[in-house]
Amino acid sequence: MIIPLDKLVGWKGNIYEMTSAAIKRANQLTITGDEEVEINNGKVVPTAIKQILDKKVEYRIEE
């Protein structure tokens, strides 16, 4: 499974913010491509979520 469910269930942050970040990251991955997406059979959204949960990418909410 691509998404680490234990990390998703244990997420202590704001799930709305994480979801917004995952959507933006998925868009970035679609435009630029990533080796990890290829490894995951082209599954962009699960790859984006995994990268956020694994802290491979960080996000911040601009106000």
How do the domains of the chain map onto residue ranges?
5-53
pLDDT above 90 for 60:
no
Kindly state the DSSP code that residue 3 receives in the 8-state scheme: S
**Entry pTM:** 0.83
Going from the C-alpha of 15 to that of each of 19, 20, 56, the distances in angstroms are 6, 9, 17
Q: Which residue has the tokens 């917004």?
A: 20
pLDDT digits (tens, 9 = 90+) for 12-28: 888 899 899 999 999 99
Query: What pLDDT sits at residue 13?
Result: 86
pLDDT above 80 for 57:
yes
